[in-house]
Amino acid sequence: MANINLKDAKRAKNDEFYTMYPDIEKEIAAYVEYNSDVFKDKTILLPCDDPEWSNFTKFFAQNFERLGLKKLISTSYAVDSKTYKYGYQVTMFEEGAPQYDKSKTKTNGKIFTLTHDKFGDGKINIEDLEWSYLEGDGDFKSDEVTKLRDEADIIITNPPFSLFREFLIWIIESGNQFVIIGNKSCITYKEVFPLFKENKMWSGRTEWSGGMWFETKNLDDVDKIINGINMKNVPAIWLTNIDHGRRHKPLPLMTMADNLKFSKHKEINGKKSYDNYDNYNAIEVPFTDAIPCDYYGVIGVPISFLEKYNPDQFEIIGSDYNIKEGQLPELVNPEWIGKIDRGYVGGERLYTRILIKHNKATK
């Protein structure tokens, strides 16, 4: 029992983060800047949301006309199904509505939809949202939310991190476009990295450094309070399969000789050459900005490279996980007699590396 509670507590800690409006605004602006029609006539589903106070619902409802949306659907997860109970109280908005049902308020999820100017004031906005209770608790895996997924063109949300793998699989199997938030560590999941490698998913526009600030309802887990709002910093990143301009911006890089002479990194500057791995045939480049522009063999880079990955400039060959799994035998040094699970330099085991090559087209 104690174990279950601990597990639940950890899940809850990871699941109840609420995304800030300016973060959504900045990320979505990048897609619109790249393609002004990206959301035009599209049905957007915001699952795993809490539409009554969600900034996702607020942002897309307020920008419904500007983005040219066809329909906005937002669903929430029932209070009784959440792992973290934070002193829930029914809102005046819900209680005052004719469809309010005391027997459903805690056990059922809710669905909010926006399609037209309900109030006839000449514009479609947040006031025109209509809502009802879902049949079930709003679990994204339920048949009713899956049906909404299949009706939608684009899925956008910050899903529960504890269910990230399941959520991603649920999205990918729909074939929809998506913009979601995940913990940076998800990149190393075996379900996630292949999507990057095959250019089926990439980093969103927002920079990775500094993490993201979320509103937290968990009073035991607050990093700072801003304007009375409890905030938590999380190493979270945006992930998407919708194109944006930063993805096509080439990384400015120096030649190998210039890096060895002028690099700002003491690990590179002043060396005679870049290190080769002991166990496989690639050079070790510990910083993305130290990738030589004139080396056309395989290059091992940190995971943070994926933030800057431009598919016009590089191709991803795999990761050291693929080497360990025997999927890249051509790279393994036949003389190496130690473990091959990670890159080794001078016998020292390095953190996980991604293996890349300059894209032939840019040579």
Ligand X SMILES: C[S@@+](CC[C@H](N)C(=O)[O-])C[C@H]1O[C@@H](n2cnc3c(N)ncnc32)[C@H](O)[C@@H]1O
Residues engaged in binding ligand X (CB under 6 A) = 15-19, 48-50, 54-56, 77, 82, 138-140, 157-160, 163
Q: How far is the CB of 11 from ligand X (least distance, A)?
A: 8
Nearer to ligand X, 15 or 307 (CB): 15
The length of the chain in residues reads 363
Question: Whole-angstrom Cα distance, residue 170 to residue 155?
Answer: 11
Q: How far is the CB of 14 from ligand X (least distance, A)?
A: 8
Question: Whole-angstrom Cα distance, residue 274 to residue 299?
Answer: 10
Question: Whole-angstrom Cα distance, residue 194 to residue 201?
Answer: 9
Name the residue among 108, 125, 107 with its Cα closest to residue 117.
125
Q: Which residue has the tokens 């990918």?
A: 172
Question: Whole-angstrom Cα distance, residue 360 to residue 356?
Answer: 12
Q: How far is the CB of 110 from ligand X (least distance, A)?
A: 11
Assess contact for 7 and 13: CB atoms under 8 A: no
**Residue 181 exposed, middle or buried by CB count within 10 Å (0-12, 13-18, 19+):** buried
Nearer to ligand X, 137 or 284 (CB): 137
Question: In 40-153, which ranges are E strands?
Answer: 43-49, 71-76, 110-114, 130-133
Nearer to ligand X, 171 or 298 (CB): 171
Nearer to ligand X, 39 or 140 (CB): 140
Q: How far is the CB of 143 from ligand X (least distance, A)?
A: 13
Assess contact for 93 and 124: CB atoms under 8 A: no
Hey, what amino acid is at 189?
Y
Q: Mark residue 22 as left, alpha or beta (left: phi above 0; alpha: psi -120 to 50; beta: remaining).
A: alpha
Nearer to ligand X, 162 or 319 (CB): 162
Classify 64 as helix, strand or coil: helix
First to last CA, the chain: 60
Question: Whole-angstrom Cα distance, residue 185 to residue 130?
Answer: 37
Q: How far is the CB of 166 from ligand X (least distance, A)?
A: 8
Name the residue among 317, 179, 313 with its Cα closest to residue 249.
313
Nearer to ligand X, 15 or 128 (CB): 15
Question: Whole-angstrom Cα distance, residue 344 to residue 284?
Answer: 9
Contacts of 31 (CB under 8 A, 6+ apart): 38, 39, 179, 205, 240, 242, 243, 244
CA-based angle 181:114:216, to the nearest 5? 35
Q: How far is the CB of 61 from ligand X (least distance, A)?
A: 14
Nearer to ligand X, 164 or 305 (CB): 164
Nearer to ligand X, 58 or 324 (CB): 58
Q: How far is the CB of 88 from ligand X (least distance, A)?
A: 11
Q: How far is the CB of 231 from ligand X (least distance, A)?
A: 13
Q: How far is the CB of 46 from ligand X (least distance, A)?
A: 7
Nearer to ligand X, 18 or 344 (CB): 18
